[in-house]
Amino acid sequence: MRRLFCALSLFATVSFGARSQEATAPSPTEQLGILAAMIKPGDWLEVTDEVNFTVDHVLPNVVGNGLSPITEFTDRALFDPKHRMVHVMGCARGGAVGTDYECGDGNNNDAGYSYYDLVANTWTRDTSHAVNTAPHAYDHATLDDDGNLYFWENIETNGHVLQMRTGGPGGRWSTIPQGGGAWCPSCALEFFPERRSLVFIDGGNDVNRPKGGPTFFPKIIERRRNGSWTPTTITSTPSEFIGYLANFSRYSPQRQLIYFGGGQADNAGVGTRILWTYDAAGKLERQEDAPSGLQLGTLGSSGKQAINPCNGNLLALDNTPKDVWEFDPTSTPDGTWTNVGMHPLTTDDGNQLLAVLATVDDYDVVMVVSYNGGGEVWLYKPSGCA
């Protein structure tokens, strides 16, 4: 049964070619568009049955722990307007409770990739290329504006590579060597159209990360069109450090900047709330910290992020309480966080919000794939959208 949740508002190729002009136009007959048109700003609509979603698309590739979905170790889905797809790619805990994580190739391959086809209104589990990665694959996927999918496979023993998929369903896979040097346990990855670059967010070093050394500061590591990787230190001031792993990043087309930060930290917990921006001119700015209690991009527990499709602000979903927060980078010199309502998503026994979010710009909604023993798909239309 379809459920409506009304919350009261409180207030390219490897060389990164030119922006594609061939994106398929949204169709008034796409089921997602029909459903999105039913939602008022600030409301949520459950559409699980209407978009033909089943839990098979987020559970491990092989028999394992059925309580552990791919959404456990990834934070975002990706909307591809050119090929009319939403991608979900990541890693689940897999095997029986208490056993080691079993992501990557082998008999216990618990990583996976599924996509939703907006035109056909179907989900597909794509096994044309095995997903090899370390377990905590938060924010490891991104899309360029030609619809090419990039996924960072964090495999310490085999080096680090980027995995690229081109051309929509049935496309090609290839790899790009990671640059920038030091080991990164859970870098976030983003594509920046105005800079024609891939951008790693590397949280740097703390006591749990000896490989980088005591002065391995948080960095942006950027791959430009010529294939070179350029590391830039974000800050050397400990009180400004983002978490050393499980960082997040989100590109805003309206603001032409990347929001990034959060993550797990030993820096008195400060890193989990720290927010930075990186703009098209290459300027780094520290922004207002997330509200107390809201953790940004840390180990799946809370702070799930998306971009507001109507204004380019950052949205963040908490788990306790189930608040929706919005960050406006232009309201004050360091921006402002505002509580804009609540969400209906369930959490698991550990109070984790096992969900991935995709901003579907064409229909002014955020699509959320959520799992807590059962699968749910919701559409959220942020306040301010017509």
236 has a pLDDT exceeding 50: yes
CATH number of the domain at 4-380, please?
A: 2.120.10.30
Each residue's pLDDT tens digit, 145-162? 889 998 887 765 544 567
| pLDDT > 90 fraction of the chain, expressed in percent and rounded | 40
Each residue's pLDDT tens digit, 72-85? 888 889 999 999 99
pLDDT band for 19, please (50, 70, 90 cuts): very low
DSSP 3-state assignment of 352?
coil
Domain ranges of the chain: 4-380
Cβ-based neighbours of 208, under 8 Å, separated by 6 or more: 244, 266
8 has a pLDDT exceeding 80: no
Each residue's pLDDT tens digit, 322-344? 999 999 999 999 999 999 999 99
**pLDDT at residue 237 in the model:** 85
- Give CA–CA dist 140/94, Å, rounded: 18
Average of per-residue pLDDT across 212-226: 75
**pLDDT at residue 163 in the model:** 74
pTM tops 0.85, yes or no: yes
Q: Which span out of 108-122, 203-217, 305-319 was modeled with the highest average pLDDT?
A: 305-319
Q: Which span out of 86-100, 103-117, 275-289 was modeled with the highest average pLDDT?
A: 275-289
Average of per-residue pLDDT across 47-55: 95
Measured in degrees and rounded to the nearest 5, phi and psi for residue 244 equal -80, -15
H-helix segments, the chain: 31-36
